[in-house]
Amino acid sequence: MNGPSPADTDPAVEAMLIEGFRRMSPSQKLERVRALNQAVQELALVDIRRRHPDADEREQALRLASRWIEPELMVRAFAWDVRKVGY
């Protein structure tokens, strides 16, 4: 594994995880990445709803997108300026 190992993971458990990842097919790995991305987006939506409880679905989607898309593109594509309205 490249880079430092997590300090809180037992080396035997880490070795088991790495071996499990090596045994996964490419499609299984992609599915794992997709699921993790979805979880990150769901957590971000929870934060957006907490910070902006009156936001409708469109505003929530724009605030979510603005966390991944460059501010200039958000303005050009959606007329959403994070410098004025925030994330």
- Read off the pLDDT band of 84 (50, 70, 90): very high
Q: What pLDDT is attached to residue 74?
A: 96
In a domain, 6, yes or no: no
Q: For residues 8 and 74, which has the higher predicted lDDT (pLDDT)?
A: 74
Q: DSSP labels for 15-44?
A: HHHHHHHHHS-HHHHHHHHHHHHHHHHHHH
Q: What pLDDT is attached to residue 82?
A: 92
In a domain, 47, yes or no: yes
In a domain, 63, yes or no: yes
pTM value is 0.74
CA-to-CA distance for 74 and 80, rounded, in angstroms? Answer: 5
pLDDT in tens, 2-60: 666 667 889 999 999 999 999 999 999 999 999 999 999 999 999 999 999 999 999 99
Domain total for the chain? 1
In a domain, 28, yes or no: yes
Q: Within 10 A of 18 (CB to CB), how many other CB atoms are there?
A: 12
Q: What pLDDT is attached to residue 5?
A: 62
In a domain, 4, yes or no: no
Host domain of residue 18: 11-85
